[in-house]
Amino acid sequence: MRLIVAITGATGAIYGVRLLQVLREAPEVETHLLVSDAGVLNLHQELDMGRKEVEALADVVHNVRDVGAAIASGSFQSEGMIVAPCSMKTLAAIAHGLSDNLITRAADVVLKERRRLVLMVRETPFNLAHLRNMTAVTEMGGIVFPPLPAFYHRPQNIAEMVDHTLGRVLDLYGLAHHLAPRWRGMGE
Ligand SMILES: Cc1cc2nc3c(=O)[nH]c(=O)nc-3n(C[C@H](O)[C@H](O)[C@H](O)COP(=O)(O)O)c2cc1C
C-alpha cells in the first residue's frame, strides 16, 4: 500500500518523523514524503534534524513545488494521506481547494478520489477561520485529528504520548501496530 505523508510548519514535527520511523518498519507500506519549507524550519528548531535526514526515512520523496509529480493525479493509487503536523495555512488551503503546492494538491486529489485524508492540525486557541476550515474539511470527508495527548494510559514521557496518538492515526488506516496499549476498561 502507498501512503502520502506531509510535514508542514506547525509545531510538532516529531509526529511526522515518528510516523515515518514507524512506517519504515511496515514493509507493506510505501511512503511518499513531502516537507514544506516551514516544516524544515521546525525540524531544525524542534528536533535538530535537517531535510535530508528526514527524507531518508521515506521510500519516495517529492518536492513541494513539483505539482507535476505522480501524486498530483488521481490515477496514482494510494490509501490516502496524513499531514503530520498540519498548519492552519495548509488546512486553509485544503479547505478551500487551492492546490497551490504539491501538499495541498495531493490532499485535494485524496479528497476527490474519496480516499482517507488525516490532518493532524495544530494551533491553540482556534479562531473562527480555523474552526470553519476544519468543518469544511470534515464535510468533504477528511478527518481532522488534532494531536491531543491522552493521560489515561499514564504516559511516562513525550515519546509515549506521541506513540499513543500515532497509534490512533494508524488505526484509521487499518495498520497493525504496537505503539500503545489498548484501553481495556477501568481497572484492567
Ligand atoms: C517555530 C514555529 C512554530 C509554528 N507553529 C505553528 C502551529 O503550531 N500552527 C500553525 O498553524 N502554524 C505554526 N507556525 C506557522 C507556520 O509555520 C506558517 O504559517 C507557515 O506559513 C506554514 O506553512 P506550511 O503550511 O506550508 O508549512 C509556526 C511557525 C514556526 C516558525
- Ligand 1 atom with the smallest distance to the CA of 46 is 1
Assess if residue 104 is contained within a domain.
Answer: yes
Assess if residue 174 is contained within a domain.
Answer: no
* Contact of 185 with 159, CB cutoff 8 Å: no
Whole-number Å distance, alpha carbon 67 to ligand 1 midpoint, is 22
Please report, to the nearest 10 degrees, the dihedral formed by the alpha carbons of residues 53, 12, 103, 142 taken in order: 140
> What CATH number corresponds to the domain at position 99?
3.40.50.1950
Q: How confident is the model at residue 36 (pLDDT cuts 50, 70, 90)?
A: very high
Mean pLDDT throughout 16-43?
97
Assess if residue 57 is contained within a domain.
Answer: yes
How many CB atoms sit inside 10 A of residue 145's CB?
20
Q: Could you tell me if the CB of 36 is within 6 A of ligand 1?
A: yes
To the nearest whole number, what is the mean pLDDT of the chain?
97
Assess if residue 168 is contained within a domain.
Answer: no
Q: How confident is the model at residue 184 (pLDDT cuts 50, 70, 90)?
A: confident
Mean pLDDT throughout 124-149?
98
Assess if residue 184 is contained within a domain.
Answer: no
Residue 55: give the domain boundaries: 2-146
Higher-scoring residue by pLDDT: 183, 40? 40
pLDDT of the residue at 188: 60
Whole-number Å distance, alpha carbon 91 to ligand 1 midpoint, is 11
Mean pLDDT throughout 146-155?
95
Measured CA to CA, the distance from residue 169 to residue 5 in angstroms comes to: 12
Q: What is the number of domains present in the chain?
A: 1
Assess if residue 162 is contained within a domain.
Answer: no
All three cell numbers of 180, joined, read 500503545
Mean pLDDT throughout 110-123?
98
Higher-scoring residue by pLDDT: 181, 159? 159
Measured CA to CA, the distance from residue 31 to residue 20 in angstroms comes to: 8
Residues making up the binding site for dimethylallyl phosphate: 152, 168
**What residues pair up with 82 in beta bridges, in sequence order?**
5, 118
Q: Is 116 helix (H, G, I), strand (E, B) or coil?
A: strand
Assess if residue 155 is contained within a domain.
Answer: no
Assess if residue 169 is contained within a domain.
Answer: no
- Ligand 1 atom with the smallest distance to the CA of 41 is 31
Whole-number Å distance, alpha carbon 119 to ligand 1 midpoint, is 14
| Residue 90 pLDDT > 90 | yes
pLDDT digits (tens, 9 = 90+) for 44-66: 999 999 999 999 999 999 999 99
